[in-house]
Amino acid sequence: MTARIIDGKAFAEDLRGRIAGHVNRLKTDHQLTPGLAVVIVGHDPASQVYVTNKARQTAEVGMHSEKYELPETTSEAELLGLITRLNADPKIHGILVQLPLPAQIDPTRVILAIAPEKDVDCFTPGSVGRLAIGLPGPVSCTPLGCLMLLRNEFESMAGLDAVVIGRSNLVGKPMAQLLLRENCTVTMAHSRTRDLAEVVRRADIVVAAVGRAKMIAGEWIKPGATVIDVGINRIDAPEKGPGKTRLVGDVDFEGAKAVAGAITPVPGGVGPMTIACLLANTVTTASLINGLTPPRDLTA
Ligand SMILES: NC(=O)C1=CN([C@@H]2O[C@H](COP(=O)(O)OP(=O)(O)OC[C@H]3O[C@@H](n4cnc5c(N)ncnc54)[C@H](OP(=O)(O)O)[C@@H]3O)[C@@H](O)[C@H]2O)C=CC1
Ligand SMILES: Nc1nc(=O)c2c([nH]1)NC[C@@H]1CN(c3ccc(C(=O)N[C@@H](CCC(=O)O)C(=O)O)cc3)C=[N+]21
Ligand SMILES: [Mg+2]
């Protein structure tokens, strides 16, 4: 068997088309241009990839966007100052602070400083709570993107065994919430999981969000399973020339492709969906801030 490749890039393009339509309507009917501020401190490689791809696509859907690239040595007070300014800025409806942050900055303090109504990453306690109890609002971008791809694969996910590898607040935890809402039987695996191979072997749906290149072996995958690879890892690619690198996921793609039913590639899978969902969340928050009902086709 060879897995069908899930084309996240094409799906995201389609989603961006719909987002552009909503942005246009907000502009013409309500004189409202959704605005997104992206803040990156230092130079985490996965964050760099994110920022580069985001800027272009934000402009493409007709949104206002601002990018703040701060040096690795930025203090917590400086970052909190910027967030306070963005919280008060009426042009900005979404604030994204890229994680990880340098060691001198406490990410919890930073997250709590973000105005909840501008929390497009779904990081603040109120947003996390709403997601957990099923109230409307922004949903974590990457899990939302994965969910959209999965819904496109399955008539229903009810009763399926889903394994999420990784338990970060950014990806793993909200992903598990969304799969639970789809009535999957959800297992969360992490660095202390005893026999990861065994856990993965029983899964009909595998979502890998670890941050370790190719760590999920093809032999672990149950034949016919659907594999969603969130990992973004930059590795050396001497075959492309001296000093060259390339992106790979957390799953051994070639190995898994031989057994899985469907699989997302890296690049071209979850990454583009994350960006499209970030834009969708900004439409959602811009709408809510202005007392408008957010478009239903952009959320979970
Ligand atoms: N494609 C996209 O759009 C996005 C991609 N990413 C990428 O996804 C990956 C994960 O991101 P993020 O969730 O922020 O990462 P974190 O580093 O915050 O979390 C990693 C998780 O993986 C677990 N883990 C680490 N080692 C192992 C192991 N050997 N076996 C099982 N579990 C392990 C950790 O367990 P423990 O909790 O026990 O430490 C932790 O829960 C990264 O590559 C990141 O770049 C992230 C966001 C969006
Ligand atoms: N607060 C916060 N929220 C995040 O959502 C967040 C973050 N911090 N920190 C960093 C990670 C990483 N991340 C990516 C998103 C898209 C691509 C992406 O566009 N990937 C393309 C890459 C294409 C290429 O350049 O080759 C793809 O996979 O096809 C990558 C990585 C979001 N993250
Ligand atoms: Mg991390």
100 lines ligand 1 (CB under 6 A): no
Residues contacting 109, CB < 8 A, separation 6+: 76, 80
Give domain limits for the chain.
32-117, 141-272
Does 222 have pLDDT greater than 90?
Answer: yes
Task: Determine the atom of ligand 2 nearest the C-alpha atom of 268.
Answer: 29
The tokens describing 70, both together, are 């701060």
H or E element: which one contains 149?
Answer: helix 141-153
| Residue 207 tokens, joined | 């979502």
The reply to whether domains 32-117 and 141-272 share a CATH topology is: yes
CATH class assigned to 32-117: alpha beta
Q: What are phi and psi of 274, to 5 degrees?
A: -60, -45
Query: Is the CB–ligand 1 distance for residue 54 below 6 Å?
Result: no
Choose between 136 and 196: higher pLDDT.
196
Query: What integer pLDDT is reported at residue 217 of this predicted model?
Result: 98
Backbone angles phi, psi at 222, to 5 degrees: -70, 135
Please tell me whether 167 is known to bind a ligand: yes
Q: Say what the ipTM of the complex is.
A: 0.98
Q: Identify the CATH assignment for 141-272 out of 3.40.47.10, 2.40.128.50, 2.60.40.10, 3.40.50.720.
A: 3.40.50.720
pTM value > 0.95: yes
Q: Is it the case that residue 180 has pLDDT exceeding 90?
A: yes
Give the model's pLDDT for residue 142.
Answer: 98
pLDDT digits 0-9 by tens, 44-74: 877 877 777 787 888 899 999 999 999 999 9
Q: Which of 225, 163, 159 is nearest to 188 (CA)?
A: 163
Can you give the pLDDT at residue 56? Answer: 82
pLDDT, position 294:
93
Ligand 1 atom at minimum distance from 192 CA: 38
Q: Ligand 3 being an ion, which residues bring their Cβ within 5 A of it? A: 100
Residue nearest to atom 19 of ligand 2 (CA): 271
236 strand-pairing partners = 245
Mean pLDDT computed over every residue of the chain: 96
Q: What is the pLDDT of residues 82-97, one digit of tens each?
A: 999 999 999 999 999 9
Pocket test for ligand 2, best of 274, 277, 279 (most atoms within 8 A of CB): 274
Predicted local distance difference test score (pLDDT) of residue 45: 78
Does 192 appear as a known binding residue? no
Average the pLDDT over each of 129-143, 155-169, 218-232 and give the range with the smallest value: 129-143
The per-residue pLDDT for 276 is: 97
Instruction: Answer yes or no: is pLDDT of 1 > 80.
Output: no
Instruction: Give the up-direction half-sphere exposure of residue 50: CA atoms within 13 A in the CB hemisphere.
Output: 30
- Parallel, antiparallel, or unpaired for β 233-236 and 245-248? antiparallel
